[in-house]
Structures are given as structure tokens and as C-alpha cells.
Structure 1
């Protein structure tokens, strides 16, 4: 994972190319921007980072719709929800209420605090999403890169929710797109690449902390279903971590599906989601509906 810090800039450039496409396809959905998911009195509140956007279909529905909370990537050090408008729009266009979130980043905080932010965003979603036509009993999490690793933590670590006063993990399933950090314990023990020390800023220097921030070691029977994807040409560590996660999920009887997307590198794995008929959306709609 030596070059994940470039993802924000690359995605921003890609998004600019597709602004016209977004304008043409935005009509079927509505975006409610910059909702704070923490109160200003919450300790350590970061005004810009504790925000989310909600995307809803404009077409009315008597029934509440499934909900997907999307967590952006960016090497745990960069990225923001505004880059990923296309995912919110595409989901809403297909009848899903989408919640696209910000969270605090390194070096201001480390991964446990990021996961806590994401859990609080999910908590807000359970409390408020019915106001936007979403079903609080059908909340799924999705993420790319570092966001995929955080989404996996939400699906596997119930303590993230009990720590904030949520008695039962509300996550009903996870969609992990080229997820990073699935087995950060093994990755940081090996330190195979020249720039790997950069990740100590986000994960700390304690190997036990690396293990606790790695979803692979939280797999157990009874977890919600998961969809896993990696690009054929993505980083080897992401492929290895995702394969290990799939094998462990299957071994304990958790419903999961793993696809390798031909010819795709890391950034194109999320850029491909500009197109609503992308295979990830097709699988996702089967899972959530």
C-alpha cells in the first residue's frame, strides 16, 4: 500500500472530468449536505470532519428504503465525502438512501478514533434516516481502500457500538471495495516496502494495537453478510488481506462473496462506480433489497 496517499487527488481529477455526466444524471436524486452527526458539545468534535451528506431518491415511496453508509478512502490521512458524490447519486438513483460521511484523519487521530467516528455516523443514521425515507433496520456499510477497512471494522467489532451506547450492532452487511488494512498486524510486522513506517502514524507503534485495528482477527460466526472485491492489478497486500478475510468468513459460516475485477488497479476500483450498472452495484442491490 505504498501509494494510497495519491487517491484523493486522482479521484478529484476524475470527478472533474465527469461533472457534466453528474449534472445530467442528478435529477432523480436529492442531496442534503453537511449534516453534523455529532453535537457541538461532544468532546473532540471536529466541525468539518464530523459531517455527512444524505442522498435520497426523488421518487416517493410508501415503504422505507434500504440504507448504505459509504466511507471514503485516502490512506487514513486524506479524502472527503464531497469527492464521492457519484456514489451517493448512483445509489439513490437505484432506490437506496445513501449516507456519505467524513471522519477525522491522521495525524490528528489514529485508526481507533476514525472507527469511532464511523460508528457514530452509523448511530446518527439509525436515529434519523427514517426522516429521509431510509429504513433504520436495514443499514449497510460500504467503503473503498482505508474506508473499506473501516467498514469491515464496523461489521465485525460490536464494541465500537457498545462503547457509544448502542446495545446491538446495527450493521446488516458490508460491501468492501479493494479494502486496505484488513490485516495491518501482519503488514506492519513485515514492513516490506520502503515507506511503510508512514502507517505507524495512523496505527501507532504497539503490535497489539495493529491487531485490534485489523478486521481479520474479529471474524466469528454470526457476522452479517459481506461482499468483497479486489482489482486484479491492485496492491498485493490488499489482495492477500481480502483473500484471507474471505477464507476466514467462509470457514466460520458467514455469508460472503469475493470477486476479483479483471484488469483493475486500486483507484479504478472506485472510479468504476460512476456507472450504475457496475457489478458492485448489481451485487449490492441483491444484498440490500
Structure 2
């Protein structure tokens, strides 16, 4: 079982591909406004990182009427790479369809491990709950979304209320999760097996304590009363992602939660996020039904 690296050069190629579609990029830019590089932590906060503790907000240009639902997108990158700037196309596409999108950075390995990454993501969501009304968003309709490692972090935000109580929030503000080929759903069993020597690379991000692996695996956070989940898995993605997503779906449903798993034919791991450049795909359709329904 492998979780293969999804490194920055791959994302750079995705970004280059997207920028080649100049006419489409220009068209969608007229329908939204981006506010870049907003710190979601005060600069005086211990451990503040002036690059990683930033987010971008994409708002529909025409904000008349009721406040819009909000989707916070968490990038992937093997827990050691990736950047919000690559995913401008997701922000634009969501804003064009009447959603306020927030694309975030968070600290990465080897500087920190996954518990600190999940803490960063929770602090970003806290900022959203406090400030998103200024950008036309509804703080009572916050959803999280992520691809690959970001999908695993989004699943943690939706299932682990302690991430929010630890930062002084009385309740988890996440109303639902959209998980695109999520990695890290069950790192406990994955790292216990370590059938391939290359799998030891993940000890940098997850540490060497098995109880720590379990503590950041969303599979073991499942209980009744969780917000609705949408899981999307590529038919040809990595086996660990397929197995983890299937186990997560089964456990969610067994606990009585509302969850839907969709296998997208022919898709490998990287194309699962690349497809979000185009408006008419099943992920956006199901996302909009969830956040606007």
C-alpha cells in the first residue's frame, strides 16, 4: 500500500496548464474578486509564519441579496509541499457559481507535523467564521474541501471537534466536507504495515508514535452526528486512497451519518484536482447541491 508523493513540480505543471487557458481565466476573473495574502493569525502569535499562515478570499462580484455559502479549500502536496497560489482556479470557479471560496496555506513538514498542520487549518476556519461576513460569506455555512493530503486534513476538521475547542471555539463550525481523493484517512493501519521502505518517509510528517498516527486519522474520529460528507475517488488512484475512503464511507454510514462516495471512472490522483479547472464536472455539481441545499 502506497501514498505516493504529490510534489510541488507536479502542481506547477497543473498551474501552467491552467494558465494556458487564458481566455477562460479572463472570463471567470470578471465574475469574482480575489483578496490575497490575508494573515489568519496575528503576527505576534508564537510560531507565526508570514508565508504559511495566509489565505486568499474569492468573492462573487455581485453580492446583492443573502450571504453566500463558504468553502474553505485545503491544498494537497504530500504534507510537505503545495501552495494556495496554485489553486486560484478553484477559487474563481466557486465564486463564479455563487460561493465565497477561501484557499489557505498551512505549515508543512519537516518544519511541523500533521497535528500542527491540522491546528493551522482550524485557525484558518476560525478566522473565516469571524471575518467572512465582510466578504459576502455566511459564517453559519462554512464547508471544508481538500484534495490528497488536504482532503485528509479537511476530514479531520469535520470530525474532530477538539481542534476547535482547543482554540476557544464553543462548537465545530464545519457544516460539511467535500473530500477529493483524500489521503491519510487511516494512517494508523497504513504506517503499521509499512510494506514498502519508501513508506517510512511519512514518519517525518506523522511521527513515530502509533497513537499519534491514530490521533490524526479521521477514520477513528467517526461517530454519530457528524456533518454531511461528499467523497470523490478516482477509479485509478492509489490503492491506499481507495481503501481508506471506502472504510471511511462504511463507518460514516454505519454511525448514521449522511455521506456519499462517488468513484470517477478513469481518473488518477493528479487529474482528480486538475478537473476542477472546468466548471462542468461532478464535484462542483454535487458540492453546489450540498452547500446551497
3-state SS of paired residue (1:135)? strand
67, 70, 75: which one pairs with 1:67?
70
The alignment status of 1:285 with 2:268, answered yes or no, reads: no
* Residue in 1 that maps onto 2:39: 36
Please, which runs of 5 or more residues in structure 2 have no aligned partner?
none
- In 2, distance between residues paired with 1:198 and 1:13? 28
State the Cα distance separating 1:9 from its structure 2 match: 3.5
- CA gap of 1:20–1:194, structure 2 versus 1, over 3 A, is farther
**Are the counterparts in 2 of residues 7 and 74 from structure 1 also a CA contact under 8 Å?**
no
Equivalent positions of 1:92-131 (< 5 A) are 92-131=95-134
**Per-residue Cα deviation, 1:223-281 (whole angstroms, up to 9, x for no partner):** 00000010000000000000000000000010000000000000000000011111000
* Residue in 1 that maps onto 2:6: 4
**Are the counterparts in 1 of residues 75 and 82 from structure 2 also a CA contact under 8 Å?**
yes
**Are the counterparts in 2 of residues 2 and 193 from structure 1 also a CA contact under 8 Å?**
no
* Residue in 2 that maps onto 1:148: 151
223, 228, 231: which one pairs with 1:225?
228
- In 2, distance between residues paired with 1:186 and 1:13? 36
- In 2, distance between residues paired with 1:67 and 1:279? 19
Please, which runs of 5 or more residues in structure 1 have no aligned partner?
none
Deviates more, 1:13-22 or 1:278-287: 13-22
State the Cα distance separating 1:13 from its structure 2 match: 3.3
Q: How many residues align?
A: 289
TM-score normalised over the length of structure 2: 0.96
**Are the counterparts in 2 of residues 176 and 229 from structure 1 also a CA contact under 8 Å?**
yes
**Are the counterparts in 1 of residues 19 and 25 from structure 2 also a CA contact under 8 Å?**
no
Runs (4+) off by over 2 Å: 2-21
3-state SS of paired residue (1:195)? helix
State the Cα distance separating 1:23 from its structure 2 match: 1.9
Equivalent positions of 1:199-238 (< 5 A) are 199-238=202-241
42, 46, 49: which one pairs with 1:46?
49
- CA gap of 1:278–1:38, structure 2 versus 1, over 3 A, is same
**Per-residue Cα deviation, 1:87-142 (whole angstroms, up to 9, x for no partner):** 00000000000000000000000000000000000000000000001000000000
**Per-residue Cα deviation, 1:190-249 (whole angstroms, up to 9, x for no partner):** 112331111000000000000001000000000000000100000000000000000000
- In 1, distance between residues paired with 2:88 and 2:26? 11
State the Cα distance separating 1:19 from its structure 2 match: 4.2
**Are the counterparts in 2 of residues 56 and 97 from structure 1 also a CA contact under 8 Å?**
yes
- In 2, distance between residues paired with 1:20 and 1:195? 42
